[in-house]
Amino acid sequence: MNIHISKEALTWFKDEMLVEEGEQVRFYVRYGGSSPLHDGFSLGVNKDEPVIVGERVEIENREFFIEERDLWFFDGHDLYVEFDEELQEPLYDYRK
């Protein structure tokens, strides 16, 4: 699996979550909600430091990662983080 972050989504992370150069953003599995991949689970996001990285991508000296223990959630799909202009927030898509 791979993580893809659009330029517009990166701008949102920098402006709204205040992700500075050298900081890390973790995508993780949350109990509750739903996703196209699993009912009862959804994707969470926060600034955090990795323990055991399962997948990562670095963009403009900012690291976006998923812990190894959360890879099951993606079921072989890549994570695409794009930006919803209407809602003014990130949009998460899962593609094989």
68 with 1: CB under 8 angstroms? no
Tell me: the pLDDT tens digits for 46-64? 999 999 999 999 999 999 9
**pTM value?**
0.93
Strand order in the sheet with 78-84: 3-5, 78-84, 89-95
Tell me: the pLDDT tens digits for 62-86? 999 999 999 999 989 999 999 999 9
Tell me: the pLDDT tens digits for 34-49? 788 888 899 999 999 9
53 with 65: CB under 8 angstroms? yes
Task: Assign domain 3-95 one CATH number from 2.60.300.12, 3.40.50.300, 2.160.10.10, 3.40.190.10.
Answer: 2.60.300.12
pLDDT at residue 37, as a whole number: 82
Domain spans in the chain, listed from the N-terminal domain onward: 3-95
